[in-house]
Structure 1
Amino acid sequence: MTKKLLFIACLFISIARVANADDSQKIVSKVQKVTLFLNGAQVTRTSPVNLAPGTSTLVFENISPGIDVQSIQVRAAGDFTILSVKHELNYLNEQAKQKHVDELQTQQKALNDKISLLNYALTINQEEYNMLVKNQVVSGQNSNLDVLKLKQALDYQTIRLTEIKKKEQTINNQVADLNVQQQRFAKQINDVLRGSSAVTSNILVTVSSKVAAQAQFMLTYLVNNANWYPTYDIRAKNVNSPITISYKANVSQQSGEDWKNVKLTLSTGNPTVSGSKPELSPYYLNYGMYYSGQQSAITKVTGRVFGQDDRLPLPGVAIRIKGTSIGTQTDAAGNYSIQVPNSSAILEYSFIGYEKMERTATVPVLNIGLKASSQQLNEVVVTGYSSIEGYLQGKAAGVNVQSSPGSAAEIRIRGAASIQSTPIEVQQVENQTNVEFNIANPYSVPSDGKQYLVEINEVNTDATYQYFVAPKLSTDVFLTARITDWNKYNFLSGEANLFFEGTFIGKSLIDTHATADTLNLSLGTDRNIVVTRTLQKDLTEKQGFGSNKKETRDWLITVKNRKNQPVNLLLEDQVPVSQNSAIEVETQDVSGAQMDKLTGKLSWSQNLKPQEEKQLHLKYQVKYPKNQLVIVQ
């Protein structure tokens, strides 16, 4: 009896210990603030918590599965102690899907049912066709059959077989139409589920409190699958107006958690870049060592991105210049175009469900085939582009998307339809190592990997307009705008869309790595300023008694302003520069141009009145040994 009581007591103690060990409290937290870096984001969650006396574990659920565990911080104020913080993945609590996914899947199932019924009808139709063909053979072997009846039977079979074939064609057409619709629904469901994952994570916080208490807990952590890059709209009304620069951010994230109505801060910092300072290694020279020459200049890379398995275009692929803030994405046909700062730039291609790829911008055209990632494809089915953006409702500054299945997404860009829109309130904070843009309006950024446009700033600045031409290279005259003190606006490197007189004229690149205080922008060509460059005479003087040959070049440059207003034109040309003491270059006539003797560059600054024409002469002579070959242009 005593042993039995002792066993029961031990059992109760064990149950009590198990109960205490499982004394956990599930906490629902909300994302309040997100600081988005060029790569990565710091997420801040808050939640009020009622603490019971004793030791308990607070389980903060539905956290992003891709967090940096070392970055987790927990803050709370009160008469209690935080004993430990732990992170764990949760494979049982699947992320909540957007509600319209079930509706799309229901409609997709209805289409599949229709296709199945039509396939059954097609099978029955084929069986009837086979039976008629078989009876036709049997009837033809029956010699006792009346000829009239035989003719009637053959006529019936002909009519019926024709009807069966027509019905078969109709069913096939219906099945083909339904298959197209079914594929669209499959692509749309994939588009909605993009970025979803069957795993979340929990943050377990163990606390000890002597008394019951209430506290506000704050969790911060870093997620990696988030980024932003800048783009600009540069507008000039005419050559007498200031330049308007719209500073915008393209925001995207696939962290596994949606950011709904959060306070968004954009930071120019990049926590993924190493914080260790570089160290110089010895610079050794030896025989046989050489350095390759300068690569050809590449300022823009274009191409197409597709899947390696099906060769179908991939829309929405994120493309970034590695180590910079320059980025873009592919269009509906998988095409892209991106400005590059130099020919050694490395392009990064990333897309959900596919492996990331890097390519060096050594050629102006790069077509990329992305390889499907087996790990990610286990979670989400990736298909081609669908014209149905449908059922998506996104909201970000400047972009509103609302559509339904069967209709193209309607995109409205704030400020594009009406110039009277209210600008976004943004506060710039310049820290020691980065700049932060605190957006006043709350934002929602779903975890779908799509680009959401956020307006940062809009500035009006004076510009100096000047026409430019280098007739040796091209006789096209370009209108340029020079902006001074542009560094004070805290711009990052990025692509710029150029608009002049209300018309889109192309793209340019704002490269913040340049040390000059003046930013030069090209605003397109002007056909009303005509420039020609003509060789007047080609003289080769030979000295019969000497050992040298002389060649003279005389160029006539004509400039005419056909505009009804005066223009300021900068014209550049050049004379050759000798790199050998045996070759002598004599400049004979440059029409008062400024000359750089080291490079041979000539510059003329001309003020042309309306309908005025001017002529400039460029004449030089080259002397070199006549037993050598020198090509003189």
Structure 2
Amino acid sequence: MKAISFFVSFLTVSGLYAQEPLVTSAHLLTATVFSQGAELNHAASFNLPAGSQEILLNGIANTLDENSIQIGGPAGFTILSVRPVRNYLQIENKSPEYKRVADSLAKANQALEEIRNLQSANESILALLAKNQLIGGDHGTTVIELSKMADYYYNKHISIKNTLSSLALQKARQEQQVARLKKQLEEFNTDQQGTGGQLLLQVMNSKAGPINLSVSYLTGAASWSAYYDLRAENAASPLQIIYKANLQQSTGIPWNKVKLTLSTSNPSQNGTAPLLNPWVLRFAEDYSNRLDEVVVVQNRIQGVKVESNLPQRKTAALPAPSTLNDHSTLTENQLSATFDIDIPYDIASNGKPHSVALKEYTQPARFKYYAAPKIDGDAFLMAEVTDYEKLNLVPGEANIIFENMFVGKSFLNPYATTDTLNLSLGRDKMISIKRERVTEQTSTQSIGSSKKQVFTYEIRVRNNKKQAIQLLLKDQYPLSSDKAIEVELLEDSQASKNSETGVLTWQLDIPPGQTKTLRISYSVKYPKNRNIDQLF
């Protein structure tokens, strides 16, 4: 009797743990995307019986940080273990466009295979005809029979050859169609494995009923970078800065109607300040001067969610009169800034950048022109922006639109150490600059054991615009790194001179249609038996 009881108990326990897991999906609600990585927040609802149960959650990112997984449930619901798994059979994460192109590719491959089969069959018949050209055997044949056989072979040979030519053309066209569909499929599918992620939960439920779960975790398969549109109607108008983000994700799951938050922080970056260890010198050892950094476990997402004792404040930047600012909220924290986007976005899991509009600002700017004709013969329009730290900008590429025309690209770097942010708005061809050597005032003469060379350059700047311009012009003269080389600046046209760098600077005010002429001259004296590189 005891043996029977034990056997029944064994079957009961075995059946308990051998049961199929409950399969359900976790719906993605919000995503907080960092400069590297993202925090995804899901919700799942299902009915669960009392007792122990395995739950398989679909719709999870295919790469995640296991230590960052957080799951919340009702009272009486206990999570015993959590384990991420990969589903290599599930194709639900594929978009309808992907499935449509995949079906078309399968049909195109089938049609191509049928054409190849027809080609093979006709080539076999042609080979069969070639091997059976002996007519009549040992008994010979009549002229009529020979004529009939010749007509048959001729017509059959021509028919097969024409069929093969037609099939070759069909095959080439079909191969082009297959190649196009494959290329289109690659556009939809950057995730080559095509796999979605899952979470396998072992839980204990105290009573049967509906369960609502919240699931969050950190994934490294998403990021965003800033880019800008810099607009100015003219040199007298304020500068409009349109702040945008290029967001990309390859988590294996589509983000459909997801509430986005973009953060300038990077939780995967080590946030521990470096410490200096004693630097000890020893003989016969090669030690370099270095900062020894204490290595710690990377910051978890909990560290981002903890409320700081430091007060939060709204940015004081000047918004432009545009509806874009009505759909996003900028919050400035002590160490980062976050953009809460009110409009839900659809972001495909293809690793390609998707544009997300963040903010628009209108900033007072001082416009001026800059030129260094020794390096580049064009004048560049520059915008000087102050109080830019209030805008919470991050480095990024910028499209330059001036006077309603796209004039080029630049790079915005707000991490400068100066109080003024200098933005290059592109070249202005209406300002003509020429830098030429004055031949009659350039000479070479020998003085004893030395050689002395004199170089003279003339710079002409013409303002072809209808309004006056301010131009910051820079040039330079050489500096000596050897006592045997003597450099003397002979003429600088009243430039501001930096003796340490050799840079000459002029602040020019040029009326419309006028030309300014500047001249620089310098001499270089050095031993005549020596040569100097890059002397001009």
Instruction: Provide the residue aligned with 1:558 in structure 2.
Output: 460
Q: Distance in 2 between matches of 1:149 and 1:16?
A: 87
Deviations 1:305-336 (A, max 9, x none): xxxxxxxxxxxxxxxxxxxxxxxxxxxxxxxx
SS at match of 2:271: coil
Q: Distance in 2 between matches of 1:627 and 1:270?
A: 59
Equivalent AA in structure 2 for residue 527 of structure 1: K
Deviations 1:167-200 (A, max 9, x none): 2111111122112223333444455454254463
Instruction: Provide the residue aligned with 2:370 in structure 1.
Output: 468
Equivalent AA in structure 2 for residue 267 of structure 1: S
Instruction: Provide the residue aligned with 2:388 in structure 1.
Output: 486
| C-alpha displacement of 1:269 | 1.7
Q: 1:223 to 1:288 in 2, by over 3 A?
A: closer
Q: 2:357 aligns with which of 455, 471, 484?
A: 455
Q: 1:627 to 1:53 in 2, by over 3 A?
A: closer
Instruction: Provide the residue aligned with 1:82 in structure 2.
Output: 78
Write out aligned runs for 1:356-435 (5 A): 425-435=327-337
Verify: 1:571 aligned to 2:473, yes or no: yes
Q: Distance in 1 between matches of 2:70 and 2:396?
A: 33
Instruction: Provide the residue aligned with 1:36 in structure 2.
Output: 33
Instruction: Provide the residue aligned with 1:110 in structure 2.
Output: 107
State whether residues 62 and 95 of structure 1, in contact with CA within 8 Å, keep that contact through their aligned partners in structure 2: no
Equivalent AA in structure 2 for residue 539 of structure 1: S
Deviations 1:588-630 (A, max 9, x none): 3211111111111111111111211222121223344555545
Deviations 1:29-75 (A, max 9, x none): 32222111122211112235667666666554443342211111223
| C-alpha displacement of 1:156 | 6.6
State whether residues 69 and 215 of structure 2, in contact with CA within 8 Å, keep that contact through their aligned partners in structure 1: yes
Write out aligned runs for 1:206-285 (5 A): 206-207=203-204, 209=206, 216-280=212-276, 282=279
Q: Distance in 1 between matches of 2:61 and 2:101?
A: 26
Q: 1:540 aligns with which of 440, 444, 448?
A: 444
Q: 1:548 to 1:202 in 2, by over 3 A?
A: closer
Q: 1:449 to 1:424 in 2, by over 3 A?
A: farther
State whether residues 44 and 220 of structure 1, in contact with CA within 8 Å, keep that contact through their aligned partners in structure 2: yes
CA RMSD of aligned residues (A): 3.7
Deviations 1:136-171 (A, max 9, x none): 56489998654x986786577556534432221111
Q: 1:627 to 1:81 in 2, by over 3 A?
A: same
Q: 2:498 aligns with which of 590, 596, 599?
A: 596
Q: 1:119 to 1:51 in 2, by over 3 A?
A: closer
Verify: 1:181 aligned to 2:177, yes or no: yes
Q: Distance in 2 between matches of 1:169 and 1:9?
A: 79
Moved more, 617-626 or 593-602: 617-626
State whether residues 261 and 338 of structure 2, in contact with CA within 8 Å, keep that contact through their aligned partners in structure 1: yes
Instruction: Provide the residue aligned with 1:172 in structure 2.
Output: 168
SS at match of 1:257: coil
| C-alpha displacement of 1:438 | 0.9
Q: Distance in 1 between matches of 2:198 and 2:43?
A: 16
Segments of 5+ residues of structure 1 without an aligned counterpart are 292-418
Tell me the TM-score normalized by structure 2.
Answer: 0.80
Deviations 1:272-301 (A, max 9, x none): 22233323463869999899xxxxxxxxxx
| C-alpha displacement of 1:439 | 0.8
State whether residues 93 and 200 of structure 1, in contact with CA within 8 Å, keep that contact through their aligned partners in structure 2: no
Equivalent AA in structure 1 for residue 349 of structure 2: S
State whether residues 465 and 512 of structure 2, in contact with CA within 8 Å, keep that contact through their aligned partners in structure 1: yes
| C-alpha displacement of 1:28 | 4.1
| C-alpha displacement of 1:251 | 1.7
| C-alpha displacement of 1:212 | 6.3
Q: Distance in 1 between matches of 2:352 and 2:472?
A: 44
| C-alpha displacement of 1:509 | 1.7
Q: Distance in 1 between matches of 2:38 and 2:7?
A: 49
Equivalent AA in structure 1 for residue 431 of structure 2: I
Equivalent AA in structure 1 for residue 28 of structure 2: V
Instruction: Provide the residue aligned with 1:360 in structure 2.
Output: none
Segments of 5+ residues of structure 2 without an aligned counterpart are 289-320
Q: Distance in 2 between matches of 1:205 and 1:288?
A: 55
Q: Distance in 2 between matches of 1:529 and 1:459?
A: 29
State whether residues 95 and 200 of structure 1, in contact with CA within 8 Å, keep that contact through their aligned partners in structure 2: no
| C-alpha displacement of 1:134 | 5.1
| C-alpha displacement of 1:573 | 1.0
Verify: 1:439 aligned to 2:346, yes or no: no
State whether residues 324 and 358 of structure 2, in contact with CA within 8 Å, keep that contact through their aligned partners in structure 1: no
SS at match of 1:164: helix
Q: Distance in 1 between matches of 2:131 and 2:465?
A: 86
Instruction: Provide the residue aligned with 1:94 in structure 2.
Output: 90
| C-alpha displacement of 1:571 | 1.4
State whether residues 539 and 551 of structure 1, in contact with CA within 8 Å, keep that contact through their aligned partners in structure 2: yes
Instruction: Provide the residue aligned with 2:312 in structure 1.
Output: none
Count of residue correspondences: 497
Q: Distance in 1 between matches of 2:223 and 2:65?
A: 15
Equivalent AA in structure 1 for residue 176 of structure 2: V
State whether residues 39 and 224 of structure 1, in contact with CA within 8 Å, keep that contact through their aligned partners in structure 2: yes
Q: 1:476 to 1:170 in 2, by over 3 A?
A: same
State whether residues 228 and 249 of structure 1, in contact with CA within 8 Å, keep that contact through their aligned partners in structure 2: yes
Q: Distance in 2 between matches of 1:289 and 1:599?
A: 35
Instruction: Provide the residue aligned with 1:580 in structure 2.
Output: 482
Q: Distance in 2 between matches of 1:629 and 1:111?
A: 71
SS at match of 2:377: strand
Deviations 1:564-605 (A, max 9, x none): 222222211112223334443332321111111111111111
| C-alpha displacement of 1:534 | 2.8
Q: 1:215 to 1:587 in 2, by over 3 A?
A: same
Deviations 1:330-382 (A, max 9, x none): xxxxxxxxxxxxxxxxxxxxxxxxxxxxxxxxxxxxxxxxxxxxxxxxxxxxx
SS at match of 1:472: coil
Tell me the TM-score normalized by structure 1.
Answer: 0.68
Query: What is the identity percentage for the equivalent residue pairs of Structure 1 and Structure 2?
Result: 31
